Structure 1
Amino acid sequence: MNDQISLQLYTVREAFTADPDAAIRRVADLGYRHVEPYDLTVFADVLHGALHANGVTAPSAHSHVIDVDLDPVLDAAEHLGVATVIDSSITANHWESEAQIVAKASALNAAAKIARRHGIRLGYHNHWWELEAHFSGVTGLEVFAAHLDPDVCIELDVYWAAVGGADPVHLIDALAGHVRFLHVKDGDLSRDMKRQMPAGRGIVEIDRILAAAPDALRIVEFDDYAGDVFDGIGQSIAYLRC
């Protein structure tokens, strides 16, 4: 089961910024064998040695890939052995019309065509605003996915999807095979990030969601956390191993 569990490194950003090697070692000691780097182009060189020294890999990473120079992103991904690079956010003002959404999907498809030549897949990670946007009863994220090439993936943040008013299980089905990664966190469905909780501690239907996407990589994440973040990610991996 550890092979299906990863950690978004933004979760431990303070420890990672202070001492990358020590932070990766603590993550590995908790049982994580995969991580998801953030700001990929910034940290690729720092991460390379730390991951190798601790037997940790980075199957996915976050970096903006839409309407940017992709060369540094793809170079960093190849350096770390990252197979999938995921755009972490398209800001809320780009989800106000179907035309805006289709334009962003087309831009991601164009970037994915370039990345494909390097053997790298691209994807997109949601927040809540893509689910609050509705067009003829369909969420903005569903409109977006309907215009993506088949190999462009969605990393479904199950917490933010629920905050946006969606049923993550319905979304997994509606997004038609695009969901290959899940950001897993729990909480009370507040936008107060410090109220986020380890998996199984809040009101998100984590078990039901995981069952709906059995092959998706489970990526533990907190946008913020009120307690000891290493204790929190330790609770999450223990829950996901069960």
Structure 2
Amino acid sequence: MKYGLQMYSVRDVAQSDLLGTIEKVAALGYHYAEFAGFFGIPAADVKAKLDECGMEVSSTHTGWQELTDDVIDKTIEYHKTIGNSFIIIPGADLSDQQKLDDFIALVNKVQPVLAQAGIKLGYHNHAHEFKLNADGSHIYEQLKSRTNMELEIDTYWAYVGGQDPIAMMHELKDRVHIIHIKDGSADGHGTPLGMGTAPAAEVYKTACELGMQLIVESETCTPSGLEEARICMEFLKAQEK
């Protein structure tokens, strides 16, 4: 099995040495990188380091602000240079119906532009998308019904949001090809895989059954992001047995 790491997991070192961190992530056994920022490093340098380490880009977390008319061409160029074909919006302020309408309009506008460049568009959930806004609007239901973008299920945040991540994976299997496998407590405190109460082992099994790519995210950097990434890799390897 080939696994990926959301590079936000190692932000404590990546923000000052992204290229060196790629090397260290590869040494832990990760094959894919899902980036969450590039810290000013030229795209060609990122691509060269990935090639040197035998890694590939699975996807990136890219804010919607990088998809507006004035910068989208630059965003596309960067992502094509590093070999990325999947841009995922990591979240947005969708706290009322107007904000939802504006965001959905942006998504439906930029998705075909990205598609022409060979790049898919997706959205990554946290927990709040499963709660009703104060005005009664429901974020995740509208993202599902009013767009056809892909959905990257963060299985831990879905769990915190009161959802059954296994049921979600089955329900949305035609719109999901990458998931975040992640662990923690039900109150939102993350842990490395195998140390929380989220159904990480069942998520692993279901992802394998459905052919979904597994991207590890461990957010606390305790004692360090790389140590958490190592623990998570041990968990993944144990599931293979």
TM normalised by structure 2 equals 0.86
Q: Distance in 1 between matches of 2:217 and 2:12?
A: 14
Cα distance, 1:160–1:108 mapped onto 2, change above 3 Å: same
Could you tell me which residue of structure 1 aligns to residue 232 of structure 2?
236
Counterpart-to-counterpart distance in 1, 2:18 and 2:186: 31
One-letter amino acid of the structure 2 residue matched with residue 37 of structure 1: F
CA distance in 1 between partners of 2:218 and 2:203 (Å) = 18
Q: Which of 24, 27, 46 in structure 1 is aligned with 2:25?
A: 27
Who is 2:180 aligned against? 183
The C-alpha deviation readout for 1:27-85, integer Å capped at 9, x for no partner, is 11110111011125844344222212111111211112466231111111100000101
The SS at the match of 1:201 is coil
Letter of the aligned partner of 1:177 in structure 2?
D
Q: CA deviation at 1:210?
A: 3.1
Shift of 1:232: 1.4
- Give the structure 2 partner of residue 203 of structure 1: 197
Identity rate of aligned residues, in percent? 25
Structure 1 residues 25-104: aligned runs within 5 Å? 25-39=23-37, 42-43=40-41, 44-65=43-64, 68=68, 69-91=71-93, 94-97=94-97, 100-104=99-103
* 1:7 CA drift (Å): 0.6
Distance in structure 2 (CA, Å) of the matches to 1:204 and 1:102: 32
Q: 1:170 to 1:139 in 2, by over 3 A?
A: farther
Cα distance change, pair 139–170 in 1 and its aligned pair in 2 (3 A): farther
Contact 1:63 1:88 in 2 (8 A): yes
Instruction: State TM-score, norm by structure 1.
Output: 0.85
Change in Cα spacing, 1:139 to 1:237, as seen in structure 2 (3 Å) is farther
Provide closer, same or farther for how the CA distance between residues 40 and 226 of structure 1 changes in structure 2, counting only shifts above 3 A.
Answer: closer
**Matched residue, 1:126:** 125
Q: Is the 8 A contact 2:153 2:180 kept in 1?
A: yes
Q: Which amino acid aligns with 2:229?
A: I
2:105 maps to amino acid: S
CA distance in 1, matches of 2:206, 2:138: 19
How many residues get paired? 231
**Equivalent-residue separation in structure 2 for 1:76 and 1:54 (angstroms):** 20
Q: Distance in 1 between matches of 2:146 and 2:39?
A: 28
State how far apart, in whole Å, the 1-side matches of 2:194 and 2:167 are: 20
**What is the rounded CA distance, in whole Å, between the counterparts of 1:77 and 1:219 in structure 2?**
19
- Inter-partner Cα distance in structure 2 for 1:138 and 1:164: 16
| CA distance in structure 1 between the partners assigned to 2:125 and 2:44 by the alignment | 27
Q: In structure 1, give the amino acid aligned to 2:77.
A: D
Distance in 2 between the 1:159 and 1:210 partners?
A: 12
Q: Unaligned stretches of 5+ in structure 2?
A: none
Provide the alpha-carbon RMSD of the alignment: 2.4
